[in-house]
């Protein structure tokens, strides 16, 4: 496995009001103007690098702050390759089997957003990891956001080139990568959180469930789908990994999975993909014993369930309480992984 340490510089509009709108209706706040990358191999050796300017299409005038930070100018960039050309060159340079490593949780979402905005293929982007989270976990640095210069100083690494140049920043990130246990960091990257044992587990309809767990971290749905560990199911009693017996997709983001633990019997897992704040996606899993799942008043499939909840006033109170419980577990998961957590 090779790591592609990626750093982007981007331009921004002068105000949200004057910003170009994305297909989703959100304003385009970051247009890529420079791509820097450094290849680090499995032995943590720096192999080679990639640098490309990108001619902006939407914000051709550089914001004064961006001009100051990067030392780039709009006139200079105008002659550079388009995003299509730069992205194709980057993709070819990356090769096959690789994972992106960045110093923030913004670079890859911005890359994906820019590729999609230009109608370019983004399926090759694949797995990526924010090295800040690994740095925080392995140096006991809390959960707050850290600057590159802070991390370099902490690890006693020299910074000999100016920051806010995509290649210099990628090199600095690669040197931090060399100092950390990146393999372990990736293994432990995503967290799975469980609702505390002593809490009453009820779903949105007030039905008893054995366990509620969330798996969160990936910034996009695509990445969550690609993450093999997000699909793992565990016995809520002994924690053993379980093989799915059958899986029924109930909507684009929801499925019901039956499994069995040789010791603790059959379980129904209701699995849902959810988008959370701070561009994170989460898998929420509610586990039911066979008895809980097959109760005569067991919840019907999610779609009908929502309709019934709205029409039946009596269920609302319990539903909201259960939602609160679910939110608590999700919040715990968010706190555990958020690189921007207020600390
Ligand atoms: Zn078990």
pLDDT at 147: 93
Instruction: Tell me the CA–centroid distance for residue 224 and ligand 1, in Å.
Output: 26
Instruction: Tell me the CA–centroid distance for residue 248 and ligand 1, in Å.
Output: 22
Among candidate residues 51, 30, 48, the one with its CA nearest the CA of residue 39: 48
How many angstroms separate the CA atoms of 156 and 163, rounded? 17
Q: Where are the beta strands (DSSP E) in the chain?
A: 2-11, 31-40, 46-53, 98-102, 128-130, 191-194, 211-216, 233-234, 241-242, 244-251, 254-261, 265-276, 280-289
pLDDT at 199: 57
Instruction: Tell me the CA–centroid distance for residue 125 and ligand 1, in Å.
Output: 37
Q: Domain limits of the chain? A: 2-187, 191-337
Beta bridge partners of 280: 276
Q: How far from 121 is each of 22, 52, 109, 115, CA to CA, in Å?
A: 16, 18, 14, 7
Mean pLDDT score of the chain = 82
pLDDT at 152: 96
Q: What is the longest distance spanned by two Cα atoms in the chain?
A: 70
Q: Which two tokens stand for residue 256?
A: 């019901």
**CATH for 2-187?**
3.30.420.10
For the segment 119-138, the average pLDDT, to the nearest whole number, is 87
Sheet with 191-194: list strands edge to edge: 191-194, 211-216, 280-289, 265-276, 254-261, 244-251
Is 156 exposed, middle or buried (CB count within 10 Å of its CB: 0-12, 13-18, 19+)? Answer: exposed
Instruction: Tell me the CA–centroid distance for residue 242 and ligand 1, in Å.
Output: 9
Tell me which of 305 and 56 has the higher pLDDT: 56
Contact 67, 95 (CB under 8 A): no
Contact 1, 42 (CB under 8 A): yes
Local structure of residue 268 (DSSP, 8 states): E
Instruction: Tell me the CA–centroid distance for residue 245 and ligand 1, in Å.
Output: 15
For the segment 294-307, the average pLDDT, to the nearest whole number, is 56
Instruction: Tell me the CA–centroid distance for residue 264 and ligand 1, in Å.
Output: 5
Local structure of residue 228 (DSSP, 8 states): G
- Select the highest-mean-pLDDT range: 87-91, 192-196, 282-286: 87-91
Instruction: Tell me the CA–centroid distance for residue 2 and ligand 1, in Å.
Output: 37
Among candidate residues 30, 28, 27, 75, the one with its CA nearest the CA of residue 55: 75
Instruction: Tell me the CA–centroid distance for residue 18 and ligand 1, in Å.
Output: 57
Question: Phi and psi for 202 in degrees, rounded to 5?
Answer: -130, 145
Tell me which of 167 and 332 has the higher pLDDT: 167
Instruction: Tell me the CA–centroid distance for residue 241 and ligand 1, in Å.
Output: 8
Tell me: pLDDT of 196 over 90: no
Q: Which two tokens stand for residue 305?
A: 């369930």
What does the angle CA 172 – CA 175 – CA 180 come to, to the nearest 5 degrees? 130
Between 170-184, 223-237, 239-253, the lowest mean confidence (pLDDT) is in 223-237
Instruction: Tell me the CA–centroid distance for residue 321 and ligand 1, in Å.
Output: 28
Instruction: Tell me the CA–centroid distance for residue 10 and ligand 1, in Å.
Output: 50
Tell me: pLDDT of 341 over 50: no
Confidence label for 336 from pLDDT (cuts 50, 70 and 90): very low
Instruction: Tell me the CA–centroid distance for residue 265 and ligand 1, in Å.
Output: 7
Residue 253's Cβ-side half-sphere holds a number of Cα atoms within 13 Å equal to: 11
Between 32-36, 112-116, 198-202, 316-320, the lowest mean confidence (pLDDT) is in 316-320
Instruction: Tell me the CA–centroid distance for residue 256 and ligand 1, in Å.
Output: 19
Instruction: Tell me the CA–centroid distance for residue 292 and ligand 1, in Å.
Output: 16
343 CB contacts (<8 Å, ≥6 apart)? 142, 143, 144
Tell me: pLDDT of 241 over 90: no
Instruction: Tell me the CA–centroid distance for residue 85 and ligand 1, in Å.
Output: 53
CA 230 to chain centre: 12
Among candidate residues 112, 285, 316, 283, the one with its CA nearest the CA of residue 195: 285
pLDDT at 220: 77
Bridging pattern class, strands 2-11 and 98-102: parallel
Contact 326, 204 (CB under 8 A): yes
Instruction: Tell me the CA–centroid distance for residue 189 and ligand 1, in Å.
Output: 25
Instruction: Tell me the CA–centroid distance for residue 318 and ligand 1, in Å.
Output: 29
Among candidate residues 184, 185, 173, 181, the one with its CA nearest the CA of residue 149: 173
pLDDT at 207: 76
How many angstroms separate the CA atoms of 311 and 213, rounded? 28
Instruction: Tell me the CA–centroid distance for residue 268 and ligand 1, in Å.
Output: 13
pTM above 0.85, yes or no: no
Tell me which of 276 and 31 has the higher pLDDT: 31
For the segment 226-233, the average pLDDT, to the nearest whole number, is 80
């Amino acid at each position: 496995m090779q790591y592609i340490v990626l750093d982007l510089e981007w331009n921004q509009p002068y105000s949200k009001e004057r910003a170009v709108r994305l297909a989703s209706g959100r304003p385009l706040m970051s247009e890529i103007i420079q791509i820097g990358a450094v290849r680090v191999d499995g032995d943590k050796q720096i192999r080679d690098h990639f640098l490309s300017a990108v001619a902006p299409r939407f914000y051709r005038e550089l914001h004064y702050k961006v001009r100051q930070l990067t030392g780039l100018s709009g006139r200079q960039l105008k002659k550079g390759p388009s995003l299509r050309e730069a992205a194709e060159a980057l993709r070819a340079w990356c090769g096959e089997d690789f994972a992106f490593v960045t110093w923030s949780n913004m670079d890859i979402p911005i890359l994906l957003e820019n590729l999609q905005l230009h109608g370019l293929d983004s399926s090759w982007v694949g797995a990526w990891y924010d090295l800040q989270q690994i740095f925080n976990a392995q140096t006991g640095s809390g959960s707050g956001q850290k600057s590159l210069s802070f991390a370099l100083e902490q690890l006693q690494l020299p910074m000999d080139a100016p920051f806010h140049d995509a290649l210099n920043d990628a090199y600095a990130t690669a040197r931090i990568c060399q100092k950390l246990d990146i393999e372990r960091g990736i293994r432990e990257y995503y967290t799975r959180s469980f609702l505390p044992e002593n809490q009453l587990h009820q779903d949105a309809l007030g039905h008893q469930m054995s366990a509620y767990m969330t798996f969160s971290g990936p910034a996009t749905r695509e990445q969550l789908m690609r993450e093999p560990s997000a699909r793992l199911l565990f016995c809520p009693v002994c924690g053993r990994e379980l093989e799915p017996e059958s899986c029924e997709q109930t909507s684009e983001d929801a499925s019901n999975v039956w499994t069995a633990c040789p010791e603790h019997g059959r379980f129904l897992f209701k699995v849902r993909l959810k988008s959370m704040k701070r561009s994170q996606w989460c898998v929420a899993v509610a586990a039911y014993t066979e008895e809980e799942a097959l109760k005569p008043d067991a919840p019907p499939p999610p779609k009908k369930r929502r309709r019934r909840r709205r029409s039946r006033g009596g269920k609302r109170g319990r539903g909201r309480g259960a939602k609160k419980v679910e939110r608590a577990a999700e919040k715990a998961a968010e706190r555990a992984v958020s690189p921007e957590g207020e600390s």
